[in-house]
């Protein structure tokens, strides 16, 4: 599997949550149960004949958005992605979170429907007081297997995803390394501008 494809899976965000075959494993923790519930809801949207076709694209994606996005803690993801720079810019934090969330939303939008033929196998889960991991693997139509692990923490009465690890590639760490390169020579305003324009990646 190429690095580009693995990165696409990472940036796709909703891929594992919304595609594949739901396993028969009985989840022991609220974190696992909530991940499974999200999958079930999204599969209902994807299988709804009333939402199929290009003419229903906008409506279908809005319904998917309503199901998938609440499962993620974008503020926590943004904070971790900014790393040590987070506390340097208290007045810009909300603006950064908004830009980062929009980036992730736009990135997964096309991937969420393109991966509809992949399958998901649930492997195991680990839960502590304020932390949980739900391990899965994605199986492509060609039989390629990609391990993906969701990291979650409790937010009010829900468990929300704050990172995804795909074949040892963390979405948070991946963005942090890219953002740090920009911030080593530029301001946070410049980073936010680049995020909105999707040109913060290393180009050399």
Element holding 37 (H helix, E strand)? helix 30-47
Q: How do residues 114-143 score in pLDDT, each as one tens digit?
A: 555 677 788 889 998 899 999 888 888 788
pLDDT of residue 198: 80
Residue 41 lies in a domain: yes
Mean residue pLDDT of the chain comes to 81
pLDDT at 153 over 50: yes
Which pLDDT band, with edges at 50, 70 and 90, does 2 fall under? very low
Residue 13 lies in a domain: yes
pLDDT of residue 148: 86
Give the chain's domain count: 1
C-beta of residue 81 within 8 angstroms of C-beta of residue 172: yes
Residue 204 lies in a domain: no
pLDDT at 52 over 50: yes
Which residues is 170 bridged to in the sheet? 165
DSSP secondary structure code for residue 152 in this structure: E
Residue 104 lies in a domain: yes
CATH number at residue 26: 3.10.450.710
pLDDT of residue 17: 41
31-60: average pLDDT: 84
From the list 99, 79, 84, 101, the residue with the least C-alpha distance to 153 is: 79
Residue 71 lies in a domain: yes
Q: How do residues 57-90 score in pLDDT, each as one tens digit?
A: 899 889 888 988 999 999 999 999 999 999 999 9
Residue 133 lies in a domain: yes
For the beta sheet containing 119-127, the strands, ordered from the edge strand earlier in sequence to the opposite edge, are 119-127, 132-139, 145-155, 158-166, 169-170
Residue 203 lies in a domain: no
Residue 107 lies in a domain: yes
CB atoms within 10 A of CB 21: 13
Q: Which domain holds residue 175?
A: 3-197
């Amino acid at each position: 599997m190429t690095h580009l494809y693995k990165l696409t899976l990472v940036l796709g965000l909703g891929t594992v949550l919304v595609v594949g075959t739901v396993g028969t494993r009985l989840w022991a923790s609220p974190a696992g149960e909530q991940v499974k519930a999200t999958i079930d809801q999204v599969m209902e949207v994807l299988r709804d004949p009333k939402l199929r076709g290009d003419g229903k694209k906008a409506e279908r994606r809005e319904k998917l958005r309503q199901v998938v996005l609440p499962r993620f803690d974008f503020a926590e993801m943004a904070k971790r992605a900014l790393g040590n720079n987070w506390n340097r810019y208290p007045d810009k934090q909300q603006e950064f979170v908004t830009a980062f969330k929009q980036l992730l939303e736009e990135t997964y939008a096309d991937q969420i429907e393109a991966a509809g033929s992949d399958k998901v196998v649930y492997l195991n889960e680990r839960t502590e007081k304020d932390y949980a991991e739900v391990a899965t693997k994605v199986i492509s139509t060609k039989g390629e297997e990609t391990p993906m692990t969701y990291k979650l923490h409790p937010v009010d009465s829900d468990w929300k995803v704050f990172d995804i690890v795909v074949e040892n590639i963390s979405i948070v760490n991946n963005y942090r390394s890219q953002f740090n390169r920009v911030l080593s020579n530029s301001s946070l305003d410049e980073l936010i501008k680049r995020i909105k324009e999707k040109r913060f990646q290393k180009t050399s």
